[in-house]
Amino acid sequence: MSIKTSLRNSIAQLLFLSGFTSPAKRSRGRFSIVTFHRVLPENERNNYPFPGLVVTPEELDSFLSYFTAHFDCGSISAQHERYLSGEKTERPLLAITFDDAQYDNFINARPILARHQVKASFFAPVEAVERHELLWHDRLGFAILALLQQGDSGQAKLLQILADAGMRVSDPHNLAISAVQASKELPLESRLRLVAELVEASGTSQVPDFARMMTLKELAVLANEGHEIGSHSMTHCMMPECDDDALVYELAESRRVLQAHLSRPINAFCYPNGNCDARTASAVATAGYTLAVTTAWGHNGEKSDRFRLHRCDIDAKRVQDAIGNFLPALLAFRMSGFYPGLA
């Protein structure tokens, strides 16, 4: 462990023990939201293109133990309504959210949430769920892994396709992550064409069974157990790139489909990739949602825009000690507002 990392962890411990970064102090009077994505065993995390989006079941269990000890936890619409009503709670209010409606959330996260007696919100990209099709970034990531497994020839083919698309990868050692970030700068059609080219070049469209999406029936099971289902759009596009008609489709149609299948209101929306602007936030309100979440880091106050709520994205590796154990003090430091680089 580097001296910088050791010093950071020591500062985090000192601040936590002094109560300076404790949730009771730093989150009191605020509304906090945390974000998870995939929940996979370690062997599956090692075979997923974006391990930073993954927590293991054991890590999720540790996070929920911490959150339930320090926060009043629940789904986002219910917790937000309680917060805006001015309800006085013994512990600060926290909402637990999961993005992308992956099957691993159903099979791995669901029993852990039940054990902790916590209700959460799951944001579903509707077309991907209906079609049983992976999201574009997963298709891209698995295609890149397949090409890299072909050795030098596969890597050369990959770099040529990226170059032809006008992309420069910023980190050649993490090509999947770098390529996804660069592709977000492409126009929508160019991005989808790139994904198709990479899948074709990799010679396979097969992905591991663990990577699949949830089904509408599985979303219904979650809803019937008291969890909240929210919309993550129809196609998981980045909302500001949509014209007005496309916005209506992404927002109103996804809400309509989910309400029809689940027979309950859909009140919460999650911007894919966190991208939003004034026009898209207004469109979310017009579509009938009561709130929407971004990926901007931080807490929310009484005057926060309900259609641009901030969240704290959970990355297990960033809150571990030198031997890989969960360090609660470091998570408290990151969520406190004092951590360098985080609002």
Range of the domain at 44: 3-133+210-335
**How many independent structural domains does the chain possess?**
2
Joined together, the tokens standing for residue 122 give 């799951």
Helix H or strand E segment including 35: strand 31-36
What pLDDT, on the 0 to 100 scale, is given for residue 171? 67
Q: Choose among 317, 302, 310: nearest CA to 337.
A: 310
Quick check: is 342 in a domain?
no
Q: What share of the chain is helix, strand, coil (3-state, %, to 5)?
A: 50, 10, 35
Quick check: is 287 in a domain?
yes
Joined together, the tokens standing for residue 285 give 């309100």
Q: Which of 181, 206, 231 is the last residue of a domain?
A: 206
Same domain, yes or no: 186 and 227 = no
Question: End-to-end alpha-carbon separation of the chain, Å?
Answer: 26
Same domain, yes or no: 237 and 302 = yes
Joined together, the tokens standing for residue 335 give 């969520």
Same domain, yes or no: 186 and 49 = no
What pLDDT, on the 0 to 100 scale, is given for residue 177? 87
What DSSP state is assigned to residue 215? P
Same domain, yes or no: 147 and 236 = no
Distance CA 96, CA 88 (A): 19
What pLDDT, on the 0 to 100 scale, is given for residue 340? 82
Same domain, yes or no: 193 and 216 = no
Distance CA 207, CA 48 (A): 10
Name, in order, each residue with C-beta under 8 angstroms of 92's C-beta and a sequence gap of 6 or more: 23, 24, 27, 28, 29, 30, 32, 70, 71, 72
Same domain, yes or no: 38 and 76 = yes
Quick check: is 341 in a domain?
no
Tokens 């020591």 correspond to 10
**Cβ neighbour number for residue 210 with a 10 Å cutoff:** 18
What pLDDT, on the 0 to 100 scale, is given for residue 323? 84
Query: Three-class SS of residue 101?
Result: coil
Q: Which of 206, 223, 258 is the last residue of a domain?
A: 206
Quick check: is 128 in a domain?
yes
Q: How many residues does the chain have?
A: 343
Tokens 């663990």 correspond to 210
**Cβ neighbour number for residue 300 with a 10 Å cutoff:** 22
Same domain, yes or no: 128 and 197 = no
| Mean pLDDT of each 10-residue bin along the chain, 343 residues long | 81 92 93 98 95 96 98 98 95 98 98 98 97 93 92 89 82 79 87 92 84 97 98 94 94 97 97 94 97 96 96 94 90 91 73
Q: In b/e form, how buried is each residue of 120-141, taking b as 16+ CB within 10 angstroms?
A: bbbbbbbbbbeeeebbbbbbbb
Same domain, yes or no: 102 and 156 = no
| Burial of 115 from C-beta contacts in 10 A (0-12 / 13-18 / 19+) | exposed
Distance CA 136, CA 290 (A): 28
Q: Which of 148, 181, 206 is the last residue of a domain?
A: 206
Q: Choose among 220, 231, 300, 226: nearest CA to 267.
A: 231
Joined together, the tokens standing for residue 83 give 């917060």
Name, in order, each residue with C-beta under 8 angstroms of 238's C-beta and a sequence gap of 6 or more: 184, 188, 272, 273, 275
Distance CA 330, CA 315 (A): 12
